[in-house]
Amino acid sequence: MIVEFIVVTVWPPPTTVLGWFTLFQKNMALGLLDYPILDAAVIALLGPMFLALYFVLRRTSETYVTIAVPFVFAGIASYWATTTAFSMLYLSDQYATATTDAQRALFLAAGQALISTGLGGLFSSMGFLLVTIAGLIVSIAMLRSIAFNKVIAIIGIVANILTLSNYVALAIVPTTISYFSPQGIIGGILLFAWWVLIGLRLYQIGSSLPSAR
């Protein structure tokens, strides 16, 4: 998340299909980071985290976490099924080798379709929407558990509400895609802090358990 934030700040992503094609041809790695491909890794790593949260919180909020965990894995599956970074890279290569205006126009149209559906569009955002809903549910469950203090729970609630509002906006109006919307920036920072605090707390809980040996 930190690497991704630095990349999109220093090298803002293109706003047109041709811009994306040009970026991929000039610097494939930067194009993938700008797309942003690291989101796929981030969302996948949330699976184990939410599983751990399920086992910690199930005694006080079993209903909450039983609902949240399927949302997480549905979100992960949805995102991975709709990520279009490598498809855009392929179209970029095809556009670069096209020999006629008709071929180039065809690849530009296909690229526009990928951006509309896979880069902040409804189907791409759906994965994050589901994961964020799960995060909000788990944050509420944390309020009822002594395993997590109230600060972590409140940070989670605020972070997930802000992030949820951002993804809803992107899903409803894809043309408003922005990595720098106020709720996106604040929500992203709080969400990252929430994940770190959860990780530290889970590590503390694990360290306090009796050794299996």
* 118-161 pLDDT, tens digit each: 665 555 567 888 999 999 999 999 999 999 999 999 999 999 99
pLDDT at 37: 84
Least confident of 58-62, 166-170, 179-183: 179-183
Distance of CA 28 to the CA centre of its chain: 21
pLDDT at 138: 97
What confidence tens digit (pLDDT) does each residue in 92-124 have?
999 999 999 999 999 999 998 888 766 655 555
What confidence tens digit (pLDDT) does each residue in 3-30 have?
887 888 898 888 889 999 999 999 999 9
What confidence tens digit (pLDDT) does each residue in 23-72 have?
999 999 999 988 878 888 888 999 999 999 999 999 999 999 999 999 99
Q: Give the mean model confidence (pLDDT) for residues 202-211.
A: 85
Amino acid type, 121: G
**pTM of the complete model:** 0.81
Percentage of the chain beyond pLDDT 70 is: 89
